Structure 1
Amino acid sequence: PPATRHSPPPILTLIGPTCVGKTTVGMALAQRLGTEILSADSRQIYRYMDIGTAKPTVEEQQAVRHHMIDIINPEERFSAGEYARQAGTLITGLQQQGTTPLIVGGAGLYVQALMGGLFHAPDIPSEVRQNLKEQFQEQATDGLYHTLKAVDPEASVRIHPNDRQRIERALEVYEATGIPLTEWHRKNKPTKPDWSLRLIGLKRDRVELYKRIDRRVDQMIDLGLVEEVHRLLDLGYNEETHALKTFGYAEILDYIKGLLPLKEAVNKIRRQTRRYAKRQLTWFRNREEILWIEISPDESASTTCDHLLAQVPPPLPSQSLK
């Protein structure tokens, strides 16, 4: 819908699989539109993890202001709902200043949450969650399901008796808040935000994308990924740290522990990155509202911007909320 005096223009949102070129195209587009970037990447939120997450460089972050990068430590968990809350506050603040940000990222769940399509579950402190986890470990799945039936009968109908993870999650909410999960769902229907997103998907030929993934992984090793993991270990993190269980970090940890030769660790990172790209593409493929822009192998970011802006009227800052 066209922007009115009361509604800001849709927010351009660059999505696509890992290694497709979102960062460079996003930088070029943000500079052309004179705006700031809001990252929608589920790993660039972590501090101290720069190389393995292909975080925008210091120079790139100086050239264009970035938000939602380096906001939590590697041991912390961060839900899509929490992302939507924090990013939503930033969007509102920027729009009040007359700026429509550019969203760039490959985390489909984050984008979906920003569009108002996710239920916001209550935040449970990690120590409470850990205590409950230990209590649950002592019980068989059917015992937990029996408890769920007593405290939240409606949830027990929705959840399969063997789906231990969902049973634990429902009990966790009840034990931590005293309110059944079903009640939370009723009270906290997903709310439609005050903005809309214009989804632009970047895509490349699959063979070309895989070549780029291989090059990116080699580049990460050259830039010092092994040293980055050593630094994380020096900071007290280890293979149990939530963020270090992700691809690029888990394999290098195995190499450092002597479980894998470096060459095999690198090949494994390539395979895992390809799998991740496939999962992202599957998620995006199911969304009809994405406008896809095909990038040819030697195309510059500037040319991609030309193609993109020829198909999408840009939400220039001058058109933003006044």
Structure 2
Amino acid sequence: MEENDPQGLDDLARHTFVPSLIILCGATASGKSSLAIAVAQRLHSIIISADSRQVYREFNIGTAKPTPREQNLVPHYLIDLCEPTETLTVAEFQEMATSLIERRKTPDVGAAGCPLLVGGTGLYIKSIVRGMKIPRVAPQPELRSQLQPLGQSHLHALLHQVDPVSARRIHANDQVRTLRALEVFYVTGRPISEQQGETPPTYPILQIGLESHRLDQRIEQRTAQMLDMGFKTEVQMLCEKYGEDLPLLSTLGYSEMKQYLRGDISLDHATQLIGLHTRQFAKRQRTWFRVDPTIEWFDADAPDLLEQVWQRVTQFLQADTK
């Protein structure tokens, strides 16, 4: 990606105090990472990852985690935070990301005070943009194991008793949200509906989305690249170290490769399934992000994408200094 800088904009990046946030989002394989690195280099800023799997150590190739070389080009944060056996909640992500953003909002860091929040995990991004109030309650496996056998009908009726507001909001067949509401109530003694809400941040936010009409081809290329980088070996090592039942090994890419390693399917079939399931996942990501009217969309396949985005970024930063 081209690195030349229009006259005068590099000075803006070095010297302007910008208490703001730039978000770069979009479907998987749309080119977010490379664009983010190019923009962050021009801003002399940092990248905060908004990817729910890149927070886990050792899950590298299958999550398209920035390589050590890429991380050396620009400081990356919220990557490799947890062991694969641990669970990072949205509330914990929000707290850490907010701390990073707020910490950068000081005049002495110049435009480096405007970090880039980059990723495809919509809930992570929404938690920052909307300032979602999220109950600080970690998943309770033991409690869930006691509740789940009761059946969804009984669980939803139970929720009606302890939190009728949430029961009206949650569909009677939605067991995931029903269980979450119940565990929050039993852990805190307060309905989850009383602990939710939104307090949007006061600083300006620019949301940039990438859309590609060649996304299927990009996904196919990424899948092939993953295999060339040793994805099969990565999954095999993780299975041997943590066991096949590790929840992260049932996520996109890892699940299909695990089936191949067990001998259930061929490598070609596993590759085809990874491509298919990634395309389905990308479609869900697109649907999520398209609901937000504040996202400004750019053509990821445009030859002058960097210059288009850079022009919008500098307009945003200049407007914020007036």
Query: Which TM-score bucket, shorter chain as reference?
Result: 0.7 to 0.9
Q: Secondary structure at the match of 1:54?
A: coil
Q: Cα distance 1:144–1:280, how it changes in 2: closer, same or farther (>3 A)?
A: closer
State the AA in 2 paired with 1:111.
I
Matches of 1:223 and 1:196, distance apart in 2: 39
Matches of 2:317 and 2:44, distance apart in 1: 8
- Could you say which residue in structure 1 is the equivalent of 2:5? none
4+ residue segments displaced more than 6 Å: none
Q: TM-score, normalised by structure 2?
A: 0.85
> What are the Cα deviations for residues 250-285 of structure 1, in whole angstroms up to 9, with x where unaligned?
001111111111110000001111111111111222
> What are the Cα deviations for residues 140-173 of structure 1, in whole angstroms up to 9, with x where unaligned?
3333334333323333343344433333222211
Tell me the percent identity.
37
Matches of 2:130 and 2:189, distance apart in 1: 26
Following superposition of structure 1 onto structure 2, how do residues 226-241 of structure 1 map, counting pairs within 5 Å? 226-238=232-244, 240-241=245-246
Q: TM-score, normalised by structure 1?
A: 0.85
Are 1:64 and 2:74 counterparts?
A: yes
Shift of 1:117: 4.8
- Could you say which residue in structure 2 is the equivalent of 1:123? 137
State the AA in 2 paired with 1:198.
L
> What are the Cα deviations for residues 66-89 of structure 1, in whole angstroms up to 9, with x where unaligned?
011111222333333322211001
Q: Cα distance 1:304–1:93, how it changes in 2: closer, same or farther (>3 A)?
A: same
Matches of 1:154 and 1:83, distance apart in 2: 26
Structure 2 gap segments, 5+ residues each: 1-16
Are 1:106 and 2:120 counterparts?
A: yes
- Could you say which residue in structure 2 is the equivalent of 1:304? 305
Q: Cα distance 1:308–1:258, how it changes in 2: closer, same or farther (>3 A)?
A: same
Shift of 1:316: 6.5
Q: Which residue of 268, 271, 275 corresponds with 2:276? A: 271
Matches of 1:109 and 1:167, distance apart in 2: 18
State the AA in 2 paired with 1:36.
I
Q: Which residue of 272, 295, 300 corresponds with 2:300? A: 295
Number of equivalent positions: 300
Are 1:190 and 2:225 counterparts?
A: no
Q: Which residue of 84, 87, 94 corresponds with 1:74? A: 84
Contact 1:77–1:242 (Cα < 8 Å) also in 2? no
- Could you say which residue in structure 2 is the equivalent of 1:4? none
Q: Secondary structure at the match of 2:24?
A: strand
- Could you say which residue in structure 1 is the equivalent of 2:253? 248
